[in-house]
Amino acid sequence: MITNKDRLFNLSTKRSTYLFAVTETGHLEHLYWGRRLNKDISIDSFAEKRSLNIGGGTAYDSDHPTLFLSNLALEYSTTGKGDYRESSIDVEYQKGLRTLDFTLQSFRILKGKPRLFGGLVESYGEADQCTTLELTLKEKLLPLRLLLTYTTFEDSDVITRRATLHNDGQESVVIRNLASAQVDLEGNWDLITFDGAWGRERHVNRKEIKPGIYINDSKSGVSSADHNPAIFLINEEDECLGFNLVYSGNHRELIERSPFGKTRVMTGINPSGFSWTLTGGERFQTPEAVMTFSARGLEGASQNFHTFINHHIIRGPWKFRERPILINNWEATYFNFTEDKLLKLARESAALGIELFVLDDGWFGVRNDDTTSLGDWTVNPKKLPSGLGALSDRIKKMGMLFGLWVEPEMVSIESELYKNHPDWMIAIPGRNPSVGRNQYILDLTREDVRRYLFTTLSKTWKLADVNYIKWDMNRIFSDLYSLNAEMSNHGEFLHRYILGLYELLTKLVTEFPAVLFESCASGGNRFDLGMHCFMPQTWTSDNTDALSRLYIQEGTSYAYPLSTMGAHVSSAPNHQTLRRSELESRFNVAAFGVLGYELDITTLNHQQKETIKAQVAFYKAHRSILQYGSFTRIKLANSDSNQVVWAVASKDKSEILVLFAQKLNPVNPGGDILRVQSVDTNATYEVFPRQQKIDIKMFGDLLNMVSPVHITEGGIAQETMSKALSFDSEVEHYRVSGEQIAYGGIKLNQQFGGTGYDAMTRVLGDFGSRIYLFKRID
C-alpha cells in the first residue's frame, strides 16, 4: 500500500512501514523504516530538528541557514550542496563539474509495477500484489531528470527500488555513479555480509558499524563468491533490514556511519571502474534493489527474502515445481568418459530412483582437459560416437530426464571458434591478455557474438532434446576492451556485458520454455537474483564436503531459499577437502537444498546403493517441504557451537524436518537437546529420526568385541563385512506436545562415547548427522 498525504509518503506492507516527507526545499527526507504504523503519522516527531547551526557545517543556502544536508536522512543524495557523505548520484558535466541538486517535481502511484527498460531483469508482481510510487525529481539548473521508483510487495514485506536518469538536454554527460537505492538510518547497527572465495562461498561475517565507511563489493565482473550482494543490518532490538540487488555484475553496498550517528546504506552497480556516457535524449536505469524489514531479526528478514524470491523472482514452469533429483557425471568421471560409461552410470542411477542425468564438461570439441574447445559446441564423436541425440534418447528410455552442461560465455585459444573469430575474445590489442583456467571470455556486448551463441546452442539443445541446462562460467574478467561501436567509453563494458548476457538468456529461455536452467560459476561465483530471473536454481559451491556445506548452505540460506540451492552427495574422501564423512551425513546436508548425486555410483557396493535408494525415496516423500518449506536456522555452523541445527516446516506446520549435525564427535558428552520453535505449540507431534545405515567400518577394530573372527582395521574381512552388513541407526520415538518441543526441547538418546553400545545409542561420529521428522498427530 502506498499513500500520499500533503508532504508525507507512506509505503506500508503487511508488517512494515517506510516513510519519507518532502522538505520545504523539495528534498526527500527519510523519516522511518520499521514495524507497521497504523495510526495517523506526525511528521514532526520523526523529522530532523533544525533551529540551530551545525558547527563547521555548510547550510543549503542563505534562505535556509539551518538546513544542513549533512545531517538530514535523505532518500537520495548528491554532492556539492553540503552533504559530505557518499552520494547516490555522481554525474560529470561541463569540464568536470559534479555539483547536483535534485528536488521533487511530481509523482504518481500505480497498481502493479512498470517494466524496467534497457535489458535489465527484475522482479514481477500482479496489480493486486504490488503498488508502485514513481517520483520525478528535477535538477535545479541542468536538463537532468531523476526518477525514483519504489514498489511495495505486501506478501513478503519487500520494497524494491530503482533510479532512472534522463538527459533532457543536448550535451552528453558522464554517469560515474547511480545507486539503485539509498537509506539513511538512525541508531546502532551491526552489518552482516556473506564473504568467501571458490570452495568456501558466502560465509557469514558480522561486525559492528562504527564511524567511517564499509564497502561490500565486487570488481571481477560477476556478483562473486568474494562478497555476495545480499547484506543485512541488525540492531539490539533484533530489528533487521535486508538488501539485495537484481544484478549479476559488479555491485557495491556502501555503509557509512556519519559524524552525527546516522548510517547510510547504498546499493547498486559498483562505481569503481564504471562510467556511462549519456547523450542528449537518452536515459539510464539502474538494476532493481530489493529491501526488507523484519521485527523478527535475521530469521524474519531471510524468510521475507525467501517468500519474495519464490514468488516474485523465479518464473516459468519450474516456479514452485518440485525439482528433479539429478546425477551429474563431473566428479564421477571428470573429462574421462565413454558413451558406455555414461549409460551405465545413468542406468544404475535410474534404478535408485534418480530422475535426471546431467552430462557435464568434456562432451564437445576435442575437450579432454580444460585447455581446449570452449566455443565449439558440437559433440565429440570419439567420446560419444552415437551422438548427443542418441545418448539423450537412450537415457530418456530409462525413464530419466536429460541435462547438459555448457559454458557459452567462454572461448579456448585452441578452438575452431577462436581460429575463425579471434576478435570475439575480450583482449586489448597489443597486450598479452590475462588468463583464468586456460580460457578467455567472449565479448557478449556484441550482437554478432550473441547471435552465434544463440544459434549454436539452440541447435545442440534441440538435437539433444534437453530438459535441463547447467550454465557454467569459470573465469572472471580482465583486459576489458571491445570493438563494439556502440561503446565510446570502456567504463560501460562490464554493464553492457551483463545486458548482453541477459539478452541472450532471455532469447534462450523463451526458445526453451520447459527447460530447467541451473546457473553455475565455478560453483557459486554468480549466486544472485539476476541469474535467478532466468534460472530457478544455482550450483551453490564446487565444495561438496558435508562439513564445509554446513557453512556454505547456511550462509547462502540467509538471503536465498532452499529451492535455489543445488546440493550434491559426492564421494569420500571428498575431492575438495579430502575429508571422509558418512554417506548418510552427506545426504542429510544435501537434502536441505535441491538434491543431486555427483559420484561414480557404478563403483558403489550393494549396501551403499541400497542406502542411496532409501535416501532418494525419503527425499521424494518430503521434497516439497525440503525445497519450499519455511526454513529456520536454530544452531549455527558459523558459531562456536559444535552442533548445527536447521529446521524446515510445511506451511501448516504439520510436518517439520530438522537437521541435527555435529562438527566433531564429543567424548563423554552430556545429553543433546532438540528444541524447535517453529512447531505449532497447540499441537502434538510424533518425533523420530530418519532411519540411517551405519557402516560397520565406523567402529574400526572395536568390532572384535562382538565378532567371532578377528577383524583387522582396513583388512579384507572388514571390507567384506562392510559390503554385506550395516547397523541400523538408533531407535528413538516420542509423542510430545508442540509446547514442550518449543519451550523445553527433547532430550535425545545418548551418543556413542566409548562406554558401550545398544539399540538406543546415537552413533554419529565426526561430521555426523540425523534428520528428525516431526509429524503433527492432532
* CA–CA distance, 756 with 766 (Å, rounded to integer): 18
Residue 148 or 406 having the CB closest to ligand DGJ: 406
Residue 520 or 763 having the CB closest to ligand DGJ: 520
Strand-pairing partners, residue 456, are none
What are the E-state strand segments in 158-275?
158-167, 173-185, 190-195, 203-208, 212-217, 231-234, 240-245, 251-257, 263-269
Residue nearest to ligand DGJ (CB): 361
Whose grid coordinates read 576478435? 423
Residue 472 or 582 having the CB closest to ligand DGJ: 472
Beta-carbon contacts of residue 118 (< 8 Å; ≥ 6 apart): 283, 284, 285, 499
Site for ligand DGJ in 710-769 (CB under 6 A): none
Residue 310 or 333 having the CB closest to ligand DGJ: 333
Residue 46 or 402 having the CB closest to ligand DGJ: 402
Residue 32 or 364 having the CB closest to ligand DGJ: 364
Q: Measured from the CB of residue 522, what is the shortest distance to ligand DGJ in angstroms?
A: 5
Q: Integer distance in angstroms from the first to the last C-alpha of the chain?
A: 38
Site for ligand DGJ in 448-487 (CB under 6 A): 472, 474
Q: Which of 528, 542, 545, 672 is catalytic?
A: 542
User: Under a CB-based contact definition with an 8 Å cutoff, are residues 481 and 428 in contact?
Assistant: yes
Q: Measured from the CB of residue 475, what is the shortest distance to ligand DGJ in angstroms?
A: 10
- Can you tell me which of 60, 102, 305, 330 binds ligand DGJ, judged by CB under 6 A? 330
Burial 135-166 (b: 16+ CB within 10 A, else e): bbbbbeebebbbbbbbbbbbebbbbbbbbbbb
Site for ligand DGJ in 361-380 (CB under 6 A): 361
Q: Measured from the CB of residue 344, what is the shortest distance to ligand DGJ in angstroms?
A: 20
- Grid cell locating 104: 521533487
Q: Measured from the CB of residue 328, what is the shortest distance to ligand DGJ in angstroms?
A: 7
* CA–CA distance, 696 with 725 (Å, rounded to integer): 7
**For the chain, percent helix, then strand, then coil, each to nearest 5?**
25, 30, 45
* CA–CA distance, 627 with 224 (Å, rounded to integer): 24
Q: Binding string to ligand DGJ for residues 377 to 416, with x set by CB under 6 A, is what? A: ----------------------------x-----------
The pairs formed by 251-255 with CB atoms below 8 angstroms and a separation of 24 or more are 251/217, 251/218, 251/223, 252/215, 252/216, 252/217, 252/218, 253/193, 253/215, 253/216, 253/217, 253/229, 254/86, 254/213, 254/214, 254/215, 254/216, 255/191, 255/209, 255/213, 255/214, 255/215, 255/216, 255/231
Q: Measured from the CB of residue 568, what is the shortest distance to ligand DGJ in angstroms?
A: 9
Taking Cα atoms as reference points, which of 588, 591, 584, 579 lies closest to residue 610? 584
Residue 474 or 718 having the CB closest to ligand DGJ: 474
Residue 138 or 532 having the CB closest to ligand DGJ: 532
Beta-carbon contacts of residue 577 (< 8 Å; ≥ 6 apart): 543, 545, 547, 548
Beta-carbon contacts of residue 316 (< 8 Å; ≥ 6 apart): 509, 513, 536
Query: Cis omega (within 30 of 0) on the bond before 561?
Result: no
Cα–chain center distance at 562: 10
Alpha-helical segments (H) within 579-676 = 583-590, 606-628
Q: Measured from the CB of residue 580, what is the shortest distance to ligand DGJ in angstroms?
A: 21
Q: Measured from the CB of residue 90, what is the shortest distance to ligand DGJ in angstroms?
A: 36
- Can you tell me which of 217, 288, 299, 542 binds ligand DGJ, judged by CB under 6 A? 542
Q: Enter the DSSP assignment of 498.
A: H
Q: Does 772 bind ligand DGJ (CB under 6 A)?
A: no
Q: Measured from the CB of residue 439, what is the shortest distance to ligand DGJ in angstroms?
A: 10
Q: Let me know if 600 is a catalytic residue.
A: no
- Can you tell me which of 32, 93, 539, 699 binds ligand DGJ, judged by CB under 6 A? 539
Residue 225 or 694 having the CB closest to ligand DGJ: 225
Q: Does 33 bind ligand DGJ (CB under 6 A)?
A: no
* CA–CA distance, 224 with 524 (Å, rounded to integer): 8
User: Under a CB-based contact definition with an 8 Å cutoff, are residues 758 and 749 in contact?
Assistant: no
Beta-carbon contacts of residue 49 (< 8 Å; ≥ 6 apart): none
* CA–CA distance, 223 with 609 (Å, rounded to integer): 38
* CA–CA distance, 416 with 414 (Å, rounded to integer): 7
Q: Measured from the CB of residue 501, what is the shortest distance to ligand DGJ in angstroms?
A: 17
Q: Measured from the CB of residue 774, what is the shortest distance to ligand DGJ in angstroms?
A: 34
* CA–CA distance, 310 with 291 (Å, rounded to integer): 15
Q: Which of 472, 600, 672, 695 is catalytic?
A: 472
Q: Let me know if 542 is a catalytic residue.
A: yes
Residue 410 or 647 having the CB closest to ligand DGJ: 410
Residue 68 or 517 having the CB closest to ligand DGJ: 517
Q: Does 360 bind ligand DGJ (CB under 6 A)?
A: yes
* CA–CA distance, 29 with 51 (Å, rounded to integer): 16
Q: Measured from the CB of residue 598, what is the shortest distance to ligand DGJ in angstroms?
A: 8
SS3 label, residue 590: helix
The residue count for binding ligand DGJ (CB under 6 A) is 11
Q: How far, CA to CA in Å, does 770 sit from each of 33, 602, 634, 751?
A: 40, 26, 15, 12
* CA–CA distance, 433 with 480 (Å, rounded to integer): 9
CA atoms within 13 A on the CB side of 432: 0
Q: Binding string to ligand DGJ for residues 511 to 530, with x set by CB under 6 A, is what? A: ---------x-xx-------
Q: Binding string to ligand DGJ for residues 279 to 318, with x set by CB under 6 A, is what? A: ----------------------------------------
Active site residues: 472, 542
The contact set with ligand DGJ (CB under 6 A) reads 330, 360-361, 405, 472, 474, 520, 522-523, 539, 542
